[in-house]
Structure 1
């Protein structure tokens, strides 16, 4: 069996430790060492990173094409292609890539990253098709939220039909984008919607999405999307809570600058309380997602408060000394916990 170099070194150390502790004899140690072999180079990881870079470059290229008027005008002059034609061509290629990608998943399931790259390319072309379809129907109203809502249903339907969590993730991203733009449009792009600024709105959105994920878990037809929906809801919820603890429910940066950060302490308490509740829930019901989100964002909140309250008042030497000591203590505690967990 071939393993990564780091894993090989780790196994060597553990086998040597077991021999020193008398748990295994020398012959057993030799047999264990001969049962695995260190890889000279991790080609799978290289493939993964290469596809990530390729997809990122493709995403940047597509975004540049959509927002750069000079490029669009140049393409119009050269090709004189109507928006609806671009939309139809993009949709056709996207459909072909969806079929190709999922056929390859069945026949060439070992080529995981290249298959996902094909599906991801289809997702980008779907977005391109929706965008150009919207441009072809644009009447100057500025209400483009319907296009984002259409993308939610398209991605959601495709994700459900192909049983693809990757496509489902984009449906959830589109859903969040639709919620933000729709509430902005309904409030005529004012800062408040029903008395809530954007962070507070997305706290509600994240909480609703998280609750909806548990409903999906109870339904056999949507159970396979529970985990990804649950994590997405928690991401929306906890990032929004953190932003709310920093900016409060203020409408603009000018108003936020005019108040002392200490006056927003109650938002920080609410955020910390949710983190603690999530951690306790995760510990009680063995929910790793809830526990890790709670602990992670509790630390993020604590360090955010530390920077807010002491950056200006403390000497920088003292500030960073305390910061270094806190991280050292966390590292020591994490090391002890890891050793205990490993020896179980």
Structure 2
């Protein structure tokens, strides 16, 4: 009988699940035994090794490039090419991107389950695309400051490739590029100042994150080609929203450093209250509808907001020993609370 190879941790989790289903009468003893026998603990986690190996390979590639630029002979060679037109560099990186996208797509057709290898090739293609667009910007945008249009071009390219290859990784880069385009586009229309329509960057990106989140909920599921990216878009949108809200709770809607330094933190209390309330709302929603991603994002930012307010209001107004003592006690209480929930779930 062919068995399912799982890690030791997953084996324990699945065994606990089978025991629970048997105790509740969902499975009889014979079926439970059959399910337990179908599990086999991996002698070695080759999947994790593969993931780490690919990460190390990409890291070594980056270090190899940096080391290459530190080599005297290569530096002299590059200097000899310093007068080469930008179109040569654009052509090189564009060709490199096409090669790695083609390799990744071909490998995906032949070995669809080898996700790590495919995504590594796609990632090299993504970086090469970014470099090609950068040189294209130098070619076409020498006489303009409106270079945010080239970030918009990267959004279009990444979006098309993500849908074509059904790649979540490229879709994430598309959403990141979309955020970069939004920031630079609004900066361009505000003459590269810090305010756009009366909003600084944290407030702008709070609205941007909210829009991305709403689009992922109401629009993406209705487009057949984008349904696979709904969850990714939702999570990235929430991260944009919550990170921006947290920054807003610290800096408020101020764009002048001197003015921000001279205000009291309580004058921005409402932003902190809003950020904490939305975080708590996400936790409630995640628990109510069993949405793990929403619950975890909400919980992380709820804790971050609470401790940010603690540092803001008490760092200068409390003895350092008491400050860290109360901090230690609070983390101990959080740990006990989590432990109680964990034991309660195991007993149910």
User: Does TM-score exceed 0.5, indicating one fold?
Assistant: yes
Given candidates 75, 79, 83, the residue that maps to 2:78 is 75
Structure-2 change in CA distance of 1:299 and 1:65 (3 Å): farther
- The answer as to 2:304 corresponding to 1:300 is yes
Q: Aligned residue for 1:45?
A: 48
CA contact (8 A) 2:15 2:36 kept: no
1:55 aligned partner: 58
Q: 1:65 to 1:246 in 2, by over 3 A?
A: farther
SS, match of residue 101 in structure 2 = helix
Query: Is contact 1:55–1:120 with CA below 8 Å preserved after alignment?
Result: no
Alignment match, 2:94: 91
Query: Relative to 1, partners in 2 of residues 1:148 and 1:304: Cα closer, same or farther, differing over 3 Å?
Result: same
Deviations 1:230-272 (A, max 9, x none): 1111010000000000111111332211112122111111111
Deviation (angstroms), 1:111: 2.7
After TM superposition, list the pairs within 5 Å mapping 1:254-273 onto structure 2. Answer: 254-273=258-277
In structure 1, distance between residues paired with 2:299 and 2:124: 35
2:234 to 230, 233, 236: 230
Task: Please report the RMSD computed on the Cα atoms of aligned residues, expressed in angstroms.
Answer: 3.2
Q: CA deviation at 1:95?
A: 1.4
Whether 2:324 is the aligned partner of 1:312: answer: no
Change (3 A) 1:64 1:83: farther
Question: Which of 249, 252, 255 is 2:253 aligned to?
Answer: 249
1:26 match: none
Query: What is the TM-score of this pair, normalised by structure 2?
Result: 0.84
Gaps of at least 5 residues in structure 1 are 22-28
Structure 1: how far apart are the matches of 2:156 and 2:263?
Answer: 42
Question: What is the match of residue 274 of structure 1?
Answer: 278
Deviation at 1:323, TM superposition (A): 1.2
Is this contact kept in 2: 1:202–1:236, CA < 8 A?
yes
- Deviation per residue, 1:196-227 (Å, 9 max, x gap): 00000000000011111111123333211111
Compared with structure 1, are the counterparts of its residues 304 and 149 closer, same or farther at alpha carbon in structure 2 (3 Å cutoff)? same
- In the alignment, what sits opposite 2:28? none
Q: 1:210 aligns with which of 208, 213, 220?
A: 213
The alignment status of 1:178 with 2:195, answered yes or no, reads no
2:195 corresponds to: 192
Name 1:155's counterpart in structure 2.
Answer: 158
TM-score (norm 1): 0.85
What secondary structure is seen at the aligned counterpart in 2 of 1:189? coil
Residue 62 and residue 229 in structure 1: after superposition, are their counterparts in 2 closer, same or farther (change >3 A)?
farther
- Given that 1:272 and 1:301 are in contact with CA atoms closer than 8 Å, whether structure 2 keeps it comes out as yes
**Match among 98, 103, 106 for residue 106 of structure 2:** 103
Aligned to 1:201: 204
Counterpart of 1:24 in structure 2 is: none
Q: 1:160 to 1:44 in 2, by over 3 A?
A: same
Structure 2, unaligned runs of 5 or more: 24-31
The number of residues matched between the two structures is: 332
Residue 134 (structure 2) pairs with residue 131 (structure 1): yes
The equivalent residue for 1:334 is 338
